[in-house]
A and B are shown apart, each in its own frame.
Chain A
């Protein structure tokens, strides 16, 4: 069974016929055990299709998302937001009026300013200024939109991460990916619709960063893990080969089908299908994770020396493979950026780990014609203070201003949105709150963010809570 075709058009074809977890009624005819099942089973199975493809409110600019979440919060002052004035004020105290009502997480806000540790330069024909630490991102400057005026409410990691990902500092809400899957359904053939890839260490927000919250659990992100089974319990127990597995599942399906004939509960057919999907996943997930068929040039572009080595670069390439296979939402979590100290060295190392692969993903998607209807998001949960922490080489959490970049469907290219004051402390123009960003991303996916709702406990909840306005300035 050739489940995978790497040509996008072939994948699109496959996706239109059969959807993972989604189009049960249609999918059933095509699955291996389909012919074993009674006609009633096939009829009943079309009753509930929570992941069937759905139309958004209006024509979308993009239908997929790849979110490169930089957990720990990268310093915008070393990467994206040039502040020559801050260099000049190095060692001086910040102006008192700036600090009114301000709260950093660790430091006394009245700490000395710290000049940026790296030089900035102009990149691309648009002349976007970014750090010398980002030569590869520099090469895609003309493809991306930098938002230098991001703002958030939280100053501690876990609350800020879940705010960024679920629109609330309170736990229990669905993540952006879950909302997307709930709104659009899944088009992936034989793979989950919302996949999570992780590198470095575990995130502060934990599984809530990609959970389903109060939505049905099947909208939650499913981690594809490196080391061991990419999907939990994917491998058969020792001694059981694929033929035995097939025979076991055939018998299981037949017995379940006999039960269905007797009981008539459509849930039984859904269960039969879940086992068939599991069987396919046992082939599709390892195939997906195996980069042996990727040409050397491609690996080199992402900066992957060893295609089996786990890490951010490998995850970027996996993200492209997932998107090609129709996965709706891919989210990478790279928890590495919390530089309270050792800033100069650590941020450089982080940039080396992420710069090349992030840029390669954008370029790769562009060359394959996928960027036009994919949104790429790059950023963390907040920014870093212009003030120093720990001697002369660290920055604290800063929620007032930070930078993220976007690329892809419907998003301006080679554009800088928003600006901050001389110290990078506050936005001076076009502030973009987390809710505004999420409202805009949903807009690109074809949703009015105030109308994509789910009722829980009598209230119609939204990703943007009761906030959010469209950021027109970043839309093409």
Chain B
């Protein structure tokens, strides 16, 4: 059959990337479809984009260079003359030293491929840029294919291929398809019945408006965003990110335009008057894994997180593979090493921030408290008309009393167990990220002559939770020990410290510190209190630094005096040991600075250190926060304002306790700007040269007036001129509905991805998407309203053989649903499913032998009971190093890296999961009871009922017969005592069953077995 042969050829060509050698192409092969992939695959490594690997100075990816030739000066291509083209001579050569590609590259060209190249050169060797790097345009719709744009494209193509579209699927199948596709749940029998009445479009609209829609469609974005509830790596501790997950669900439910959806997630914090939601949205890029292994260098793994962010944006937004360009210029796609770090630079000027997330009610309280605080301050200003002069006078006096402190530059920084590697910043601030440790050890060789005292500051930093200074809220220090080692000596001589003062010390209290799990540390009583505890020689007493909820996130200072001015020779090494508190109420300090002075009898003034730091900041560089700190500090010194000060303190105590926190992005201020460097071969510690933020030249230009920061970059990504962004988004929607994208490699639209069969349709839809305000719901509706989507999925005639993967769309989609939907279907048809929007991850049961194989045993793993156990799978707690075995067996990714498309496997492990996993077994039991209650009085009516619940259709007579036969056989075995009915129906021989009066335990058992079969039907877990 001529037509089907042609189809075969086309399809084969699509797979091999060498289609169209037939007589249909008098004008020569199509460059984009036929030639570019060949040049890229077989020649690109040595004659492509990357100058590092380029041979003979010859480029074949640019026409001019190919015509001019490389260093030999011989034209590689003579347009119209294959026989005169050096390229042709070399690819047909039989001389092993001449032939291209060289044999050692192991990429020989096939004879048809050589023919294609010859034909292309004969036809003039026309080049075109890679299709995906040219902005899409709406071509005119084919006229022969029908009203709907998708049908117009598909049907005109099918006509050309001599294929017939499939008839529409039957209504029940369509109803189920729509439900599974749009909300990820099967329809109830009532919904199937109502489908005929309410009509197709109304059903679509209702499903798009359902809150369940966001729970289904968020999951695809969560895969891309590598969402997880733990940090990954060895320790794999918990993290709080679920508010970000809920943000995604909410954004999708209210159909936030895709461009805004992307901008808020990349740079929501930089939008004017950013809301809490917009800050939560930036958790997107913070979903990277965080290494907390002992002795890591935090910066090394921050870089790994940065690489992961670029990878994620490449897969999720740009549809471009970026990983290559991390180490060198991309071999195939126009992305240079510089351009990679150009994009990196947009994202690099950030803090790894973490903050509280409040409920809407709490935000109301906070706004209220803030209003009242402002009102109190305003009242002060009114009461004290001369406040400005008073404050200035106070400040002048206080500043005059300040002694100069010389910050100490450390030579060596380590920790007792060497688990923490601190970093010292240019202002001599020391950051202690990565793994925690008990004692920090700082060694320096400062100018010690005449030093009278040492200042120990606890400081805030954007990389810390709520800016620190603690790692986890409240922090404390038990002891400060200072010693010196003279040049040439081996031993450390302790320096006696005295007269400790602090800007703040809390009142005395005792705390019991429990024994450590490994038994190395026994239970202890710790006394918290005055700053003198720092130097009392007692490790079990600590300086109480905690000012209370929220207000604890500000700097503190302690000053200690040396017994006598130091008189030690030059070259003496000074060692400062900071013993950290580590109890339930006091965690490790994460940011500090050590300074020395020679002033007489130095002491810390009783003024909040934030105000002192503000005083030390030149007026023109002060921020509003500095001014506020000064004002508050002054206010507290005015005796008559005591009632006001009390009122302020009381107001601060009204600040609510947030239920959770989130990891998010925060921009570093100008003074803390982080430079980006091109990294030699991608090695974090081998910077070669500074790189300014810039975008790849092959894509649309960066607007001249846009800010060169994260926000500018985010907006550039979703610029309607982008050749990729809309195509990638639309293609992913298509992939979700049809099981494969129009571009099958939905994470890679680069030169190595096959040109899609329906390129014009993809482009049309991409433009339509942006024209309609980037509405994902409208795009989904557009697709599901097409006849193409609504076709029956049964392959007819030779269609299966001709087009097994359904690339030409002559039939409807059919595939096993995603892991989450597999579980949700079992929950839904059994009646167990609990609908509740959002919230913290729900912990599923996991076999003990899986739990035992964690590096750090997850003590918190207490599986949810009751209705929470049956929440939708999108809410299941995800632990990276212990991927949920149920979801994993159905191919859910574990969140280590961004995943744009799931592969579907079919394994015995999945079969065992569906049959035996406890929650699935609970579903079978519940479905049995539901069937007995709702399905009529006997098996004759129950069987079709249960079957319908699972598949949304009536069983055929043959299917009914199979079910009856099975039920009868099991009833016989139960009656004969081969099985214990209660055990089967409820797991225990003495279980009490909650059954209708007419039903027996044998009924429940027989139906549990039947339900278990039905839940595992291919049709139950497939979209038909």
In the assembled complex, the Cα of A21 lies from the Cα of B907 at a distance in Å of 7
Q: Please encode chain A, from 143 to 185, with 1 for each CB lying within 8 Å of some chain B CB and 0 for all others.
A: 0000000000000111100000000011110000000000000
Q: Is A346 an interface residue (CB 8 A)?
A: no
B1018–A237 CB distance below 8 A: no
Interface pick from B273-281, B708-716, B744-752, B929-937: B744-752
Q: Is A458 an interface residue (CB 8 A)?
A: yes
Q: Is A441 an interface residue (CB 8 A)?
A: no
Q: Which residue of B lies closest to A21 (CB)?
A: B907
Write the nearest CB–CB distance from B860 to chain A, whole angstroms. Answer: 16
B984–A240 CB distance below 8 A: yes
A208–B896 CB distance below 8 A: yes
Q: Is B998 an interface residue (CB 8 A)?
A: no
Q: Is B852 an interface residue (CB 8 A)?
A: yes
Q: Is B908 an interface residue (CB 8 A)?
A: yes
Q: Is A429 an interface residue (CB 8 A)?
A: no
B233–A204 CB distance below 8 A: yes
- List the A side residues contacting B236 at CB < 8 Å: 206
Q: Which of B856, B909, B962, B985 has the most CB of A within 10 A?
A: B909
A207–B814 CB distance below 8 A: no
In the assembled complex, the Cα of A275 lies from the Cα of B847 at a distance in Å of 21
Number of inter-chain CB pairs below 8 Å: 257
CB contacts under 8 Å to B, within A363-407, are 389-390, 396-397
Write the nearest CB–CB distance from A217 to chain B, whole angstroms. Answer: 5
Q: Is B850 an interface residue (CB 8 A)?
A: yes
- List the B side residues contacting A281 at CB < 8 Å: 908, 912
Interface size of B in residues (CB-CB distance below 8 Å): 104
In the assembled complex, the Cα of A237 lies from the Cα of B897 at a distance in Å of 35
Q: Is A100 an interface residue (CB 8 A)?
A: no
A248–B881 CB distance below 8 A: no
Q: Is A227 an interface residue (CB 8 A)?
A: yes
In the assembled complex, the Cα of A389 lies from the Cα of B419 at a distance in Å of 12
A248–B962 CB distance below 8 A: no
- List the A side residues contacting B982 at CB < 8 Å: 239
CB contacts under 8 Å to A, within B849-899, are 849-850, 852-856, 880-883, 885, 888-889, 891, 894, 896-897
A459–B294 CB distance below 8 A: no
- List the A side residues contacting B751 at CB < 8 Å: 458
Q: Please encode chain A, from 218 to 238, with 1 for each CB lying within 8 Å of some chain B CB and 0 for all others.
A: 100011011111011111111
A158–B234 CB distance below 8 A: yes
In the assembled complex, the Cα of A122 lies from the Cα of B915 at a distance in Å of 56
Partner of B911, one of A207, A278, A450: A278
A244–B973 CB distance below 8 A: yes
Q: Is B804 an interface residue (CB 8 A)?
A: yes
Q: Is B206 an interface residue (CB 8 A)?
A: no
In the assembled complex, the Cα of A204 lies from the Cα of B905 at a distance in Å of 27
Interface pick from B138-146, B257-265, B963-971: B963-971
In the assembled complex, the Cα of A256 lies from the Cα of B911 at a distance in Å of 13
- List the B side residues contacting A262 at CB < 8 Å: 794
In the assembled complex, the Cα of A218 lies from the Cα of B1005 at a distance in Å of 34
A239–B1005 CB distance below 8 A: yes
Q: Please encode chain B, from 546 to 589, with 1 for each CB lying within 8 Å of some chain A CB and 0 for all others.
A: 00000000000000000000000000000000000000000000
With A228-B847, A247-B970, A270-B906: A459-B234 Cβ-Cβ less than 8 Å: no
Q: Which residue of B lies closest to A205 (CB)?
A: B234
Q: Is B414 an interface residue (CB 8 A)?
A: yes
Write the nearest CB–CB distance from B494 to chain A, whole angstroms. Answer: 21
In the assembled complex, the Cα of A107 lies from the Cα of B747 at a distance in Å of 42
- List the B side residues contacting A16 at CB < 8 Å: none
A244–B912 CB distance below 8 A: no
A248–B1013 CB distance below 8 A: yes
Write the nearest CB–CB distance from A175 to chain B, whole angstroms. Answer: 13
Write the nearest CB–CB distance from B728 to chain A, whole angstroms. Answer: 13
B848–A248 CB distance below 8 A: no
Q: Please encode chain B, from 287 to 310, with 1 for each CB lying within 8 Å of some chain A CB and 0 for all others.
A: 001010111100000001001100
Q: Which residue of A lies closest to B966 (CB)?
A: A251
Q: Is B958 an interface residue (CB 8 A)?
A: yes
Q: Is A47 an interface residue (CB 8 A)?
A: yes
B1013–A222 CB distance below 8 A: no
Write the nearest CB–CB distance from B308 to chain A, whole angstroms. Answer: 8
Write the nearest CB–CB distance from A431 to chain B, whole angstroms. Answer: 19
In the assembled complex, the Cα of A427 lies from the Cα of B231 at a distance in Å of 36
Q: Is B404 an interface residue (CB 8 A)?
A: no
A158–B850 CB distance below 8 A: no
Q: Is B332 an interface residue (CB 8 A)?
A: yes
- List the A side residues contacting B748 at CB < 8 Å: 457-458
CB contacts under 8 Å to B, within A258-286, are 258-260, 262-268, 270-275, 277-278, 280-282
In the assembled complex, the Cα of A459 lies from the Cα of B959 at a distance in Å of 47
In the assembled complex, the Cα of A217 lies from the Cα of B888 at a distance in Å of 9
Interface size of A in residues (CB-CB distance below 8 Å): 88
With A238-B983, A254-B962: A198-B1012 Cβ-Cβ less than 8 Å: no
B418–A106 CB distance below 8 A: yes
- List the B side residues contacting A84 at CB < 8 Å: none
Write the nearest CB–CB distance from B880 to chain A, whole angstroms. Answer: 7
A203–B855 CB distance below 8 A: yes
B814–A265 CB distance below 8 A: yes
With A227-B852, A256-B1018: A107-B909 Cβ-Cβ less than 8 Å: no
Q: Is B753 an interface residue (CB 8 A)?
A: yes
- List the A side residues contacting B747 at CB < 8 Å: 457
Partner of B905, one of A157, A158, A170, A218: A218
A264–B908 CB distance below 8 A: no
B296–A156 CB distance below 8 A: yes
Write the nearest CB–CB distance from A193 to chain B, whole angstroms. Answer: 11
With A236-B916, A240-B1009, A274-B906: A457-B978 Cβ-Cβ less than 8 Å: no
- List the A side residues contacting B885 at CB < 8 Å: 232-233
With A21-B907, A239-B1005, A248-B1012: A258-B880 Cβ-Cβ less than 8 Å: no
B907–A239 CB distance below 8 A: no
With A157-B234, A255-B959: A232-B984 Cβ-Cβ less than 8 Å: no
- List the A side residues contacting B307 at CB < 8 Å: 170
Q: Which residue of B lies closest to A105 (CB)?
A: B295
- List the B side residues contacting A258 at CB < 8 Å: 956, 958-959, 962
- List the A side residues contacting B417 at CB < 8 Å: 106, 390
Q: Is B597 an interface residue (CB 8 A)?
A: no
Q: Is B375 an interface residue (CB 8 A)?
A: no
CB contacts under 8 Å to A, within B930-961, are 956, 958-959
Q: Which residue of B lies closest to A173 (CB)?
A: B897
Q: Is A293 an interface residue (CB 8 A)?
A: no
Q: Is A9 an interface residue (CB 8 A)?
A: no
B850–A233 CB distance below 8 A: no
A228–B849 CB distance below 8 A: yes
Partner of B1009, one of A223, A248, A268, A458: A248
Partner of A264, one of B289, B795, B980: B795
B908–A207 CB distance below 8 A: no
Q: Is A124 an interface residue (CB 8 A)?
A: no
Q: Which residue of B lies closest to A51 (CB)?
A: B907
Q: Is A30 an interface residue (CB 8 A)?
A: no
Sorted from nearest, which 8 A-B pairs have the closest CB atoms? A239-B983, A206-B881, A106-B418, A204-B234, A172-B897, A457-B321, A458-B752, A278-B911
A–B pairs, 25, beta carbons within 8 Å: A106-B419, A170-B323, A207-B882, A211-B894, A217-B888, A227-B852, A232-B913, A232-B917, A234-B912, A236-B915, A248-B1013, A251-B965, A254-B962, A256-B1019, A258-B958, A258-B959, A267-B814, A277-B911, A280-B908, A281-B912, A282-B912, A458-B321, A458-B748, A459-B332, A459-B752
Interface residues of B (CB under 8 A from A): 106, 232-234, 236, 289, 291, 293-296, 304, 307-308, 314-315, 321, 323-324, 332-333, 412, 414, 417-419, 745, 747-748, 750-753, 793-795, 800, 804, 814-816, 847-850, 852-856, 880-883, 885, 888-889, 891, 894, 896-897, 903, 905-913, 915-917, 921, 956, 958-959, 962-963, 965-966, 969-970, 973, 978-980, 982-985, 987-988, 1005, 1009, 1012-1013, 1016-1019, 1022, 1024
Besides A207-B894, A226-B849, A458-B753, 6 more A-B contacts (Cβ < 8 Å) are A170-B304, A170-B897, A241-B978, A247-B966, A256-B1018, A457-B314
